[in-house]
Structure 1
């Protein structure tokens, strides 16, 4: 593991109440998801990757980001750092197509970077934070992870939390014998 960044927005009441367990009128416990969850999640993700950026981006990209931040004009589009320069693979919590589309747009990621997340959502549906492990298994099954590759996993959760983890492959990862992507594992 190269980096771990944990962002927790639970002190903000709106974030705390965006996803939480509560009882209904009949006393049954369930998950309550507010209409603010997408916006709150976006703020947590932004805070997380803003913290992660200086830890993983090349110095030239950090310099470009900070000079743009200092000298930008009010009406110009903010500069998005080239996270593709920091990672060969990205596994993003696969909650919905809309969320993946928005993250892809905001981080200016290619379809290749989004493939594992989209395929996981398509095959397994929203499996919450465990989806990032299915995505890594997808990359491994397709022999995409090579020695020296950096893989960033980003997941979100109730409270509102966002965690990112960066791995570096110590060797080429070949096709595994067992995987959630292999139909017959007998």
Structure 2
């Protein structure tokens, strides 16, 4: 009789097991951020107004028209005088950068941020289970992760991954990779190193669509420590709640709008075309269609369906995305990739965001420039330094990258955050009270039409 009862209970026990298994798996597949560390170069690498002008003048391929174009672009870029350039640019060797220069640039960023990360968290490099590095424009042998592994003498069973060619959106691609790896590696610690190789990729030609990158991109990067160990939950600063990735690589226009190419003179650079805003708008729209139902309450979704039929046609492609959508019903903070003034303002207008909402992205662009894949974390750092992030708040990260990609995710703040991080020595002066433009003050004469007869010798 007892055997019969035991046999009868087995199906019930098995059914209970099947019901509880997904709950247990979700519990151990969480992705927590324990800390992040942004890179701050030394003061001797600041790209101020005078140095910017000197760098432009050093390019003997430029005529007055190209010179004027670059100066006008800098005036309107939204970038200040405190951004940082690679060593090879500061020293005047941008046209002959070597592999050694590239590796030195990477070492400073990777080791500088990793040293700070391990020191801040007390985690030993030997405790790390997963290592991901994303650098789009530099692929070395041995790999950059092997370089990191050798420097810190990490474990032989460390799982390493190198991502290249992903562009400005690579950081969230790396985080998503870790999120998926956490499904099979229990109680794991993962480190993501996110940066870009700027020095060897400084454009020395004269094509306008390729000169834009020199005006926007600057040195920077970030390392972050992630875990799925619930025992470390109380030490976490953020929890990843949602991630959506969109890739338009099959569309020719989107594929070609951000591309590393050689110009007619053989100079390698990064070409940015006018189709970029259309590609960004298309990718952003596709991404939001999937993401929004997961993060907004039902009443807001119903309201949006009603008002979406009344959209204005007097906006740009990027500004049309999400018009009438109130993301603030499900999101408190917006971490927009500081790719450029037009991108930040276009996303802000499309989502109906206030100046307060887009201030972090604007200030990150002004202070550090477009640091490519590392840019999002300077924006996050600004929010934290300004003590905006409170326990329970939700942060929407919005990133765009070559391919063309739009990768967005939502983080939940696990505790009140107030670390000054990379902003600690200057956050009190942001946003600037006076919006004087040093580039215009020094080079405003270039817009004087009466000087049209001037030619550069």
What TM-score, normalized to structure 1? 0.87
CA offset digits 1:76-104 (Å, max 9, x no partner): 32752210111111010112222222221
The equivalent residue for 2:254 is 15
Task: From 382, 389, 396, give the equivalent of 1:138.
Answer: 382
Cα distance in structure 2, aligned partners of 1:130 and 1:25: 31
User: In structure 1, what is the Cα distance between the partners aligned to 2:248 and 2:296?
Assistant: 24
Mapped partners of 2:423, 2:347: distance in 1: 24
The reply to whether residue 181 of structure 1 matches residue 454 of structure 2 is no
Structure 1 residues not aligned, in runs of 5+: none
Query: Offset of 1:26 from its aligned partner?
Result: 4.2
**Alignment deviations for residues 88-141 of structure 1 (CA, whole Å, 9 cap, x no partner):** 110101122222222211110111111111111111122223221101011111
- Please name the residue that 2:289 is paired with: 50
Q: Is the contact between residue 40 and residue 160 of structure 1 (CA under 8 Å) also seen in structure 2?
A: yes
Distance 2:328 2:306 in 1: 20
Write the distance in 2 (CA, Å) between the matches of 1:30 and 1:168: 38
3-state SS in 1 of match to 2:423: coil
CA separation in 2, counterparts of 1:47 and 1:32?
Answer: 24
2:348 equivalent to 1:104 = yes
The alpha-carbon deviation at position 23 of structure 1 amounts to 2.1
What RMSD in Å do the two structures reach over aligned CA positions?
1.8
Equivalent of 2:304 in 65, 74, 90:
65
Separation of aligned partners in 1, 2:407 and 2:245: 4
Partner in structure 1 of residue 369 of structure 2? 125
Instruction: Provide the secondary structure at the position in 2 that maps to 1:180.
Output: helix
Higher percent of residues as helix: 2
Are the aligned partners of 1:129 and 1:156 in contact in 2 as well (CA < 8 Å)? no
Matched, 1:171 2:415: yes
Listed as ranges, the matches of 1:75-94 within 5 Å are 76-77=310-311, 80-94=324-338
2:249–2:403: 8 Å Cα contact kept in structure 1? yes
Q: Across the two proteins, how many residue pairs are aligned to each other?
A: 177
